[in-house]
Structure 1
Amino acid sequence: MQVRFEDVTMQFENKKVLDRINFTLPSKELISFLGPSGCGKSTTLYLISGLLNATSGKIYFDDRDVTKLDPVKRQVGLVFQNYALYPHLTVRENIMFPLKMSKMAKNLRNERAEEMAELTKIADQLDKYPRQLSGGQQQRVAISRALSKSPEILLMDEPLSNLDARLRIEMREEIRRIQQETGVTTVFVTHDQEEALSIADNVMVLESGEIQQMTDPVTLYQKPRNLFVSKFIGSPIINTFTKDSAAINPEAALLSENWMTLGIRSEHFVPATEENYLIRSIIQRIETVGKDITIHCEWANEKFVVSDIETDLSVGDTFYLNVGKDNLLLFDEKEQLIESRTEDE
């Protein structure tokens, strides 16, 4: 099912959380809402679910106006950060609970619970209680329960934030698998860019109640629409330089172009010579974590990082660097990406 917002505003007393936002979520895809705390991503999720009512604007499921529709009638499944399982009910009973509320026959409820447990790989846990399960297993129960009603949309609000690092990776892969097997339109809210970029078909980045960009993960990383997105996406954080940066070669042709901020990803640097370089630096620290090497550089009190590069230089050495033209991100005075450049620039 497709979800569409038209000029939706959400205001709590004097605070405007969302300001006339417009978007369309494609049917049968997994879409991540990504952004810092307080940016409006969970509010957007709750507007889709019907748990919040928009101050103004329209919300559509396909061509059906659901702006004022009761949450129960929206055919939406919800998975929360804290799982919200009933401790006195078994796994089977937790999964069946919404079906019981909808008056489904007991034998059909049982069949559906077992089907969902197979899908989420907890079929051997059906007779246990939530306290007997690991965090990852409890999350699978919550997903099973949300899917038991055959929702047309599955909404997940920070579903992995209570899990340890290894379980988070395992569960995000499982969520992707489950979404692909069911084909249900899924919205996944997170502030963790690695989670969003690794599992989503499309990512919507929000900040201060406004949509900064919505696109596929590769485009989001390679062609961020503005400086905020470029800094929010990617680790290490993108290196930025201004035209008066002492680290830039004063004879670089790039300085004659019309831009305000230059962005360079750490992995896009290549070694250069003193006679032909774009950026110069002094190596301050070389950090090795497993196979990953990060070189911390500085020039005239400007700090930046270089990664995925081989060099026999040491701490204290001067390091000259170039960057391919296609890997230079130029932003204008309004911090928007300058997308087109002439061939001789």
Structure 2
Amino acid sequence: MSQITISNAKKIYHDTPVIENLNVTIPDGTLFTLLGPSGCGKTTLLRMIAGFNSIEGGDFFFGENRINQMEPSKRNIGMVFQNYAIFPHLTVKENVAFGLKQRKLSKQELEERVDKYLKLMQIDQFRDRKPENLSGGQQQRVALARALAISPDVLLMDEPLSNLDAKLRIDMRQAIKEIQKEVGITTVYVTHDQEEAMAISDQIAVMYLGEIQQIGKPKELYHRPSNEFVATFIGRTNMIPAQLLHKDGQAYIRLSDGHMIAYPALNHLEDQDVRISVRPEEFVRSVDGPIQATIKDSTYLGLNTEYIVETGFAGRIQVTEESTLDEDFGPGDIIRLEINAQKMNVFSADGKVNLLEVI
């Protein structure tokens, strides 16, 4: 196991920098996710860690060992790919044993190691099957068992669940989380699926255009995103233009229809245009709520019901609340709402800074 330290990383494709001056520390034994849209640089960074991509600048360390010039085969990594990459002509047992045979273990030690990971991944009963006789989830478990069997210092996983159906993805992400905790290996996990990242990660780095926008625990990213990109990429939110102003020394957020929200956390900042982020569940329906809203559409999703509403300050607002048996609102109905200001985030007018982080 190793802490991964990356300092001032740089990657250039065809004379164009795609990653520049990137810094991140991945603590030993954690499940760390690189999250972002396609083309943001997350897989490029993973391949630089693995040794599959060249490094044009900066330093990469596993623990105290600088790995920039180290061959991929010498880095002691386990790798799990999107397409499984298991050998179709070998049985499950032979696939898991493949990397161990390269390390010239004794027959007894090899057998013990293979048995351990077949049982850990709950595929022991399939040991003599060929991959063509396995489901997608079972094949992915084989790939994971093979990667872990060599006792790597670092486990790298590149979109490992994207080829699975929705229910199987949920089952497998839980399995990966549990197994990672059991073996305690430093794991770097790449995905574009924010729900998947939130479900499994100790920490998440949100990437965009080759830069890390924010690193934090899932709860931190959801409740206190550092900029508008993170707020809109992690979960769903309503972005609303507004003004920060002061009255009698007290800070308020004023919406375009004149509605005012006291916001003492920003008393120290000057008046300015802002953008506020309000999650759909933080618009709370209340009989005497100060915001009048007209329902334009509703979607029943079992536990929750989602509404699209029109207000005096925005033509389209998403509102989510727990479903009930006795109330059934539809298009044209008028409801009253209030905003849970404690969960609201306020960004600069360009969306680049969360003003709650400005001292």
TM-score, normalisation: structure 1: 0.92
State the partner residue of 2:34.
Answer: 33
Structure 1 residues not aligned, in runs of 5+: none
| 1:220-231 to 2 correspondences below 5 Å | 220-231=221-232
Amino acid at match of 2:95: N
- Report the Cα offset of residue 302 of structure 1: 1.9
* Contact 2:242/2:255 (<8 A) preserved: no
- Report the Cα offset of residue 291 of structure 1: 1.9
State the partner residue of 2:242.
Answer: 243
Amino acid at match of 1:266: P
Partners of 1:9 and 1:306 lie apart in 2 by 42
Amino acid at match of 1:242: P
State the partner residue of 1:327.
Answer: 343
SS in 2 for 1:187: strand
Deviations 1:18-44 (A, max 9, x none): 111001001101011110001011111
Partners of 1:24 and 1:61 lie apart in 2 by 10
- Report the Cα offset of residue 251 of structure 1: 4.2
SS in 1 for 2:29: coil
Farther-moved stretch of structure 1 (141-150 vs 108-117):
108-117
Change (3 A) 1:314 1:88: closer
Deviations 1:247-303 (A, max 9, x none): 7541415699534211100001122467x62x4321011210112101111246721
Partners of 2:224 and 2:118 lie apart in 1 by 40
- The question of 1:282 aligning with 2:294 is answered yes
Farther-moved stretch of structure 1 (69-78 vs 102-111):
102-111
Partners of 2:157 and 2:284 lie apart in 1 by 41
State the partner residue of 1:271.
Answer: 285
Partners of 1:315 and 1:254 lie apart in 2 by 31
Note the aligned Cα RMSD (angstroms).
Answer: 2.2
Partners of 1:257 and 1:312 lie apart in 2 by 41
TM-score, normalisation: structure 2: 0.89
* Contact 2:298/2:329 (<8 A) preserved: no
Deviations 1:98-145 (A, max 9, x none): 111222233322221111101111111111100011111100000010
Amino acid at match of 1:131: E
In structure 2, which of residues 306, 309, 321 is the aligned counterpart of residue 308 of structure 1? 321
Change (3 A) 1:204 1:339: same
Partners of 2:346 and 2:189 lie apart in 1 by 31
Deviations 1:148-205 (A, max 9, x none): 1100110000000011111101100000111011000111111111110001000110
| 1:13-162 to 2 correspondences below 5 Å | 13-162=14-163
Q: Name the % identity.
A: 38
- The question of 1:262 aligning with 2:276 is answered yes
Partners of 2:198 and 2:316 lie apart in 1 by 27
Farther-moved stretch of structure 1 (242-251 vs 152-161):
242-251
Structure 2 residues not aligned, in runs of 5+: 244-252, 264-269
State the partner residue of 1:339.
Answer: 356
- Report the Cα offset of residue 97 of structure 1: 0.8
